[in-house]
Each structure stands twice: as C-alpha cells, then as structure tokens.
Structure 1
Amino acid sequence: MKYLVLFFMLPCLFFGQKSKSLDELSSSYAVKSFPILKELLSIPNDAFYPDFIEKNVVWCETAFGQRDFSTRRIATSTVPLLLAERKHKKAKKTVLIYLQIDGQPVDSTRWFQESPYKPVLKKKNSNDEWEAVAWDNIRNYQDHWRVFARSASDAKGPVAMFLAALDAAASVKIVPNYNIKVIMDFEEELGSPRLPDAVVKNADLLEADMLIIYDGPRHITNRPTLTFGARGIATIQLTTYGPRVPQHSGHFGNYAPNPALRLSKLLASMKDEEGKVIIPGFYDGIAIDSKTEKILRAVPDNEAQIKKRLQIAKTDKVGGYYQEAIQYPSLNIRGMQSGWIDEKVRTIIPGWARAEIDVRLVLESDPDRLLKLIKNHVANQGYYVVAGVPTEKDRLKHNKIATFTSEISYQSFRTDFDSEVGIWLRSALQNAFGQEPIMIRMSGGSIPISPFVTTLGIPAVTVPTVNRDNNQHSPNENLRLGNYREGIKTMIAILKEKL
C-alpha cells in the first residue's frame, strides 16, 4: 500500500515542496506577473524610433539578467538584436527561443483609450461593449477580460508569459535539461531587414539544436496549437503616372490620362474574378498530395465560422478551403493612394497613383522568379518600367510608365511533424492540457525565421499562445487573460519537458 500511495503522489512531487499543480502554478504566476506585463507594454516600441527601442533593449537586459541569463547585444547598422543565454548542468542540447519586442506603428486617434502605450483592462458590459475596469481589479480577473495596448498580443504578451514561466519554474525547482538561448528582435515589424546578415555573422554565437518561436495566435478554436511553418514575404511598390502635377479635372478631364484608373486596371489584370493570380507560372511547383491533404484536413477549421468572423459571403478560390489556400503564394494589395479623399477631396486629375503589394512566399516558389513574373506582367501591359521617378524625357516618349521596386524580406520555412522538436513540443502540450495540440503545417503569416533555419541548419516550430481575435497590427490590439494564463502554463510545460 505504501508504494501505491507514493505512485499517486509522484505528479505532485514533480512540482517540489509546494506541491502545486501546473494549473495552480500558472494561475498564481499570471497574477504575480501582471505588473511585468503592464510595465513592458507601457514602453513605446515603434521600430521607426530608435530611442524607443533602446528603452526596450535596456528593459529586456534587466529582466533576463534578473533571471540568471547572461545578455549580449548583437550590433547591426540600426538597433541591436539581444541574445540572452542560460546554461544548465548536464544539459546536452540547446534550445534557441525567438521573441519579438517591437510593435506596429499606432494611430492614437483610432484607439478607444488615452494611449496605446497605457494598458487598459476591459470587460464586456451588458450591451456587449468593451468597458474599462480599474487595473487594481486584475488580481481577480476572469478569463474573458482583456488588456488593451499596442503589442499586447503581437508580441510582448508572450514575452511576459515567458518571464512569468521562468519565475514559476524556479519557484518549484524545475530545471530544464537543456540550455536556453533567447534571441530578441526589435525590428520584426519592419521585416527584420538586418536579421539575415546578423545570423550569418554570429552563427557560432546562435548555434542551437532547435528553435521555438513564441509568437502568433492559436487556432480559432483557441485550443493548444503548434505551427510547423510560415510563409515568407516579399514586397513591391508600384506607381503609375499622369500629368506632372495634379491638374484641374474640369480643364483636363477627358484629356490628361488618370493614373489611378490606369493603376486600377493594371492591378485588376493580375487576378481573375475568383481571386486567382492569372500571371502564367505564378503557382508552378505547388502540389497538394494525399499526405499533405490529410494533414490540412485534420485542422478543425469551421469555414462558416471563419466567413462569419470576416463578414464575407464568399472566399477567393486559390484553394478549396482555408488551410489549402495558405499553402500557395499570394499577391495582396495592402494599400493604395492617389489624390485626396474624405474632407480633403479635390476636383483634380492626380499626378500619380501608388499601390503597396505584399507577396507571401512558400518553399516551392523562388521569390526572385515570382517578382520577375510580376514585373514582366507590368511591362506586358504596355508599361515602360523604371526603378525610380521618370524623367521629363521618359514622360514625353512613353505613353504608360510604371515605377517598380521590390524587396525580398525572407523566405518560407517548414518543419516535419515527426522531427525531434515537433515530437518534444507535442508531448509537452499533451502532458499539460491532456489532449493532442492542433498541428498546423504552415501559417499564412510570416515570421523572419528562415535565416535561422537556413544558416544555422536547425528546425523551427511556432508555439502560438494569444487569442486569434486580438486586433494585432490594428487599433485596439488586445490580449485575452485566459490566454495569458494558459500561455504561461504552456511555457512551464516546455521548460519541464525533457529533451
């Protein structure tokens, strides 16, 4: 009988003398870490302002230093990357963890609070509207309450979760059997333009056996999720031209060509009515075989729910369903500008029209080839394509002119489900939540991870934790507190799981 009692005590003994369950531990440290979350979210982090970023770098140096990490700045031509490292006795392997610290720029006028950098606690009222709750009440929070602030979900929330998980693990003497390196990126929202070169120059410093990315939202069901890849991204700026400067539409309407109309037709020529790119060769090399189809179909998406959330009646037909759609490269118009609208509207023919385009990349597609296909398509529509502002000579000689500039930020990555890191993380989440995590082959979004995968030769998996309806990149970004608590639980479980 004595041995039987000891057997049932073993799960509690793991958590040390305090005998706290994983749920109790994560709940306790969620509350204890709310001041950390609030402090971190209160530091402006727009990467266009290096002075803001320096404050974030210093904060991270202090936070990780307090948890027995050594820290080192990796210099770039702008702001540094920050590497934090902690070694553990008898560790035979090293896990590299990627954290994003910067956030999207803000338009304060569209936030329903004093400042995007002053976190506000909110809950839904009887009219299903968000209303502020005094921050002191956060100690007695409910899972559906949320913290509204820039980067609450993307991606300072996961940073605070990780720090809380480290503290929770230390409190019950959980010591990972692997060494930890944490690389912090302060220019992710700019496309991490300095990251590839930094990884190449510091390959020895960043050497590891696998990479975990703490970023992104869980599956729409909000169940524990693992994502084994992400699309890459390239960008294009496309400008068409009319008169040298805007002209009176009464005097020159029907005479001077309108660049906005020309740009609209040019963009429309790239896709059919069902949203498929019709530039020949754009989708070459991508095939969904039966094995891949099984993986994609295993994701419990509810197509009707997705359409309701987006408030769309019909989807584009690049794929037959959501998971299939994001296995292909995309061509997306992310913004357009010409002339003036709203209260500034004027009766003019604009001097130019501009579209900003992003191209999401997959492993099977060569980014240079895709950009060349698009550029050639513009030329095939009768445009004289230049890389800068056209000269007077260009304007007088060529009827249709387009400025085309492009940049490849980073390529896609994809890791096998049955890789060592995949099996390890799957076991950690299964042990923590008592169910299999949702396994996603590739996310539609992009993370600047490919330099680590290609240069360091290590597999990478994303462990998303935040709520999907978080308004990331938009006004009123938020973090659901139930996700915050379960994110800490997830990270404690990973710290505990043996490699």
Structure 2
Amino acid sequence: MRRPLVLFLLLSLSLQAQDSTAIKTQVGKAINELRNFVALPNDALDPDDMDGNINWLKSNFSARGFNTSVLPTENIPLFFAALPMEDDKPTLLIYMHFDGQSVDASKWDQENPYETVLKAPSAQGWERKSFDDLTEDINYNWRLFGRSTSDDKGPIVMLLNALDLLQSEGATLPFNIKVILDGEEEKGSKPLPRAVKQYRELLEADFLLIADGPVHASERPTVIYGCRGITRMSITTYGPLKAQHSGHYGNYAPNPGFQLAQLLAGMKDGEGRVTIEGYYDGIVLDDATLAVLKSVPDNEEGIAQKLAFKTPEKVGGYYQEALQYPSLNIRGLGSGWIGEKARTIVPASATAELDLRLVPETDGNRLKALVKEHIASQGFHMVTETPTVQERLAHEKLVKVTEGPVTDAFRTALDDPHGQFLVNTLANAFGQDVVQIRIMGGTVPIAPFINELKIPAFVVPMVNPDNNQHSPNENLKIGQIAYGIKAFYNLLSTPLP
C-alpha cells in the first residue's frame, strides 16, 4: 500500500493568481529558453543535428536536478532524465520528442525557420514584432513561429519551467519523475521497440504521459486515451515495357492507369466504406463508449467549411466515431506525366501509395493480407519486385505490392484511475470540463511502452490546435505556454487519490 503523500507546500496561491503573477513571469523565461532550443536544427532526416540537441537537453535537465543519460539505440540515441527516486512514491514516465520535420525555407514567411520569430495577429494576418516588445504584461495572443516551437520542443520547455516554478516554491513532488525523449519520432521511431525492451528496468513506471500534439479545437483541456497505429503499402500496375504513343497503341496496349483506377475503386463503396471483407471485424462500440465519443465538442460543420467539402464519408456517423475504425487511404497517386509536362502516351506503369491507420482491434499485417487477397481476387498476379519481361508475357494483369512496417495502435480504458486523475486535475486547474478523446486519428509510436512495460498511457496535448505542425510557419501561441506550464504544475503537484 502506498501511504498518502502530502506536499510540504500546500500550493497556497490560487490558480487564477498564478496566471497573473508567477506563471506569467515564468512564461517570459520559457520564451527565451525556447528560442535557444529552437535555434538548434533538428531535422529528423539529418542525424548530425541531434548531438547539439542532446547536449542542450543534458544541460537544461541537469540544471533542474535531474540525473541524465544518453541511451544508445541502433540509430539515434534516446535521452533519459530522472529526478532522485523515492521508493514510497508512484512513478510518472513522460514521453516527448526533440526531432522535427524537415524544412523548406522557401515556403516559410521568415528567412530561417530555426530562428524564432514573434508575431501578433493583425488585419492582414500576422505582424512581426520585436522581442523587445514583450513587456511584463505578455500578450497571450501573440505567437512564436519556428520549426518545433509546438512539435515538440515547446512542451519540453513547458515541463522544465513548471518544475522551476514548483522548485521556487519549495514544493515536494508526490511523484518520481522520469522523462524519455525520442530523437526520431518524426520518422517512425524504428529503434524504440527494441530500446524499450533493452532499458525496461530503467523505464519502469506506474503510468505514462505523452505530451505531444494539439489540444482539441475547442481549446479546452484535453486528455486522449489512445492513438491509431499505421502501416503502408505501395501498389504498381504495369502496361507496355516503355511508355508508348497513344495514337499508335491507344485501344491496344493495356493502360496501367485504368487498371489501377479500377482496382482501387473496388476497395471502397461510394460513401467511403472499405468493401474488403473482414476489414472492420472486431470493432464493437457499446453505449458507454458512444456517450464519450458524442461528448467531444467537434464542430462538424466547421470542419467541412475549413476543408471545403459538402459531405463526409460514412465510415462512422460522425467524426469521433469514424476514428474508431481502421482507414484505407490513398496518400499518393501517379502515372505518366501531368500538367504542362503531359504527353500523349500510354503509360508504362501506375502507382498508388496507401496508408492504413490501425486501431487496437485491427492487426496491421492482417489488414495488409486482406488487401492483397482482394487484389488477387481481381485477377492480378502479384510480385514484390519490378516484373521481368518473362513475367509480363506470362500474366495478363501484373501488380507489384510492397509493404511497410507496422506501428501498433494503443488505447487505455476510459475508466482507468490514472486517466480519471488526469481529467480531474485538469478540470480543477482550469475550471473547465475536459475533452476526453477515446482515440486520436494520428500516430505516436508509443505502443512499445504499453506492450513491454504493461502500464496505462495517456496523451495530454499542450499546444494550440492551429499550430501548423509539420508544415511551413509552425507556431506556438504564447497563451499555450502558460497553459502548458500550468497543466504540468498541477499534474506534478497533485497526489494520486
């Protein structure tokens, strides 16, 4: 039995007072720290970028009293930090990542995406400001623009500054705190499953908190109980050995573009539902689950307006229900040439790149096998390499199918007590109902922690929903820095019931 843990400091400041005093002061410090962190390039595709980021993490976590380690993996190391452990305290493991998406500076509205730019909203969109314009009364509507300001360096800095605030008040934390930071999340964290197994004892904890992604579009505090997994497939159909004149060979040489189009069209009905038998097997949504899904305050008319479509697909009756099923998505499609480069030819091949988002009930390898069975049922002979001339002459319909690795989905039970603790703590801190999302559409490679450590996991996002993560002009609203510091402050200082 764990004895109740009491803070030496009873956190006497009201949360509202913190917003106007201690937290606002801490936000100013966090902005400066984040600017220094963002200035270190962190392209996930450039391993040389990571050394400088790891050195920054060592320095800044050590300054807060953490013991730090760099954990070798088969590729980019993981960064691990832990405050001194006490046997009678529960342990919270926090996962974030320090790598970022690649940048194309020509698409940004600033010269260097790794140099943080301060902007204020204006009638024309955004007006650049000098950091000298930041007074003690910081405007929470202003934003910091730069790669990884929101995904995911911002939340790392929020955690550090929440700890600064707690330490300045002399608080004794009711948790052991461990932090694991990933250096290649943006390219799938391939080494993570083996690394979690290798460092299992070091990572042992009672529950896992993932600080990644945006809060709900309503901007209310958000707790997410799971995320979908992902796998991918590439499908290529073949026509003539080389592209041929469409006048000479149109109506005669098989057109791979039409073959591919017909093959793909047979995978879904007119309302977007996958027609492949067994694709949705195993998914049951009971009344309690449906009630949670319906409680999420999505503005579906707003989504349609923003994305500019009239009618959504009918996999689910509404947005949250749709996320409970695996998807089959064409993420890229190509054949021949298009636009100004278009030629009057019968193409030699046509390719579709697919991604399949997974839920816990659906195994990625099983779904890929179902897709391949469907392809075979349409009369295609499947190969895994570019077909030889002999194979082309032997088979009327040829298709090359290649497969990507599987990143598993995860989902924690909605009634898990650690989840209830997170929801209650955030509700008390912000005086708002917390948006509870059963599973989010995107993928965070967290399943290895759940599978190996056997602990519940939750995503607690910290950044604004319109942050442009992965895109040009990624940004972080200054008010979200205050939100993140306050959220971490309360989550780290409130004992488990």
Same fold (TM over 0.5): yes
| 1:130 maps to 2:130 | no
C-alpha separation in 1, matches of 2:59 and 2:348: 51
Partner of 1:388: 385
C-alpha separation in 1, matches of 2:325 and 2:100: 27
Partner-residue secondary structure (3-state), 1:197: helix
Q: Is the 8 A contact 1:230 1:442 kept in 2?
A: yes
C-alpha separation in 2, matches of 1:21 and 1:465: 18
C-alpha separation in 2, matches of 1:329 and 1:28: 45
Aligned residue pairs, count: 487
Higher mean alpha-carbon deviation, 447-456 vs 382-391, is at: 382-391
Would the alpha carbon gap of residues 350 and 91 (structure 1) be closer, same or farther in structure 2, given more than 3 Å must change? farther
Partner-residue secondary structure (3-state), 1:21: helix
Partner of 2:3: none
Shift of 1:309: 2.2
Shift of 1:231: 1.0
C-alpha separation in 1, matches of 2:298 and 2:397: 45
AA in 1 matched with 2:177: I
Q: Is the 8 A contact 1:76 1:194 kept in 2?
A: yes
Q: Is the 8 A contact 1:330 1:361 kept in 2?
A: yes
C-alpha separation in 2, matches of 1:42 and 1:191: 24
Would the alpha carbon gap of residues 12 and 68 (structure 1) be closer, same or farther in structure 2, given more than 3 Å must change? closer
Shift of 1:462: 0.8
| 1:326 maps to 2:323 | yes
AA in 2 matched with 1:485: A
Superimposed CA distance per residue, residues 288-308 of structure 1 (whole angstroms, 9 cap, x where no aligned partner): 111111111111222212222
Task: Give the superposed CA RMSD.
Answer: 2.2
Would the alpha carbon gap of residues 257 and 116 (structure 1) be closer, same or farther in structure 2, given more than 3 Å must change? farther
Partner-residue secondary structure (3-state), 2:404: strand
Stretches of structure 2 lacking an aligned partner (at least 5 in a row): 1-6
Partner-residue secondary structure (3-state), 1:284: coil
Matches within 5 A, 1:193-208: 193-208=190-205
Matches within 5 A, 1:172-251: 172-251=169-248
Higher mean alpha-carbon deviation, 428-437 vs 283-292, is at: 428-437
Q: Is the 8 A contact 2:364 2:406 kept in 1?
A: no
Partner-residue secondary structure (3-state), 1:234: strand
Stretches of structure 1 lacking an aligned partner (at least 5 in a row): 1-9
AA in 2 matched with 1:132: R
C-alpha separation in 1, matches of 2:88 and 2:41: 37
C-alpha separation in 2, matches of 1:349 and 1:152: 47
C-alpha separation in 2, matches of 1:103 and 1:169: 29
Partner of 1:46: 43
Partner of 2:103: 106
Partner of 1:288: 285
Match of 1:260 among 253, 257, 262: 257
Would the alpha carbon gap of residues 284 and 214 (structure 1) be closer, same or farther in structure 2, given more than 3 Å must change? same
AA in 1 matched with 2:270: E
Q: Is the 8 A contact 2:9 2:172 kept in 1?
A: no
Partner of 1:439: 436
Partner-residue secondary structure (3-state), 2:451: helix
TM-score (norm 2): 0.92
Superimposed CA distance per residue, residues 57-84 of structure 1 (whole angstroms, 9 cap, x where no aligned partner): 2222222122211122222221111111
Would the alpha carbon gap of residues 40 and 239 (structure 1) be closer, same or farther in structure 2, given more than 3 Å must change? farther
Superimposed CA distance per residue, residues 325-349 of structure 1 (whole angstroms, 9 cap, x where no aligned partner): 1011111112223333345444444
Matches within 5 A, 1:297-376: 297-376=294-373
C-alpha separation in 2, matches of 1:175 and 1:185: 28
Match of 2:56 among 49, 54, 59: 59
C-alpha separation in 1, matches of 2:83 and 2:8: 27
Partner of 1:26: 23
C-alpha separation in 2, matches of 1:249 and 1:149: 48
Higher mean alpha-carbon deviation, 409-418 vs 202-211, is at: 409-418
C-alpha separation in 2, matches of 1:314 and 1:98: 37
Would the alpha carbon gap of residues 15 and 340 (structure 1) be closer, same or farther in structure 2, given more than 3 Å must change? farther
Shift of 1:367: 1.9
Would the alpha carbon gap of residues 27 and 11 (structure 1) be closer, same or farther in structure 2, given more than 3 Å must change? farther
C-alpha separation in 1, matches of 2:247 and 2:274: 37
C-alpha separation in 2, matches of 1:114 and 1:163: 29
C-alpha separation in 2, matches of 1:265 and 1:44: 44
C-alpha separation in 2, matches of 1:135 and 1:274: 50
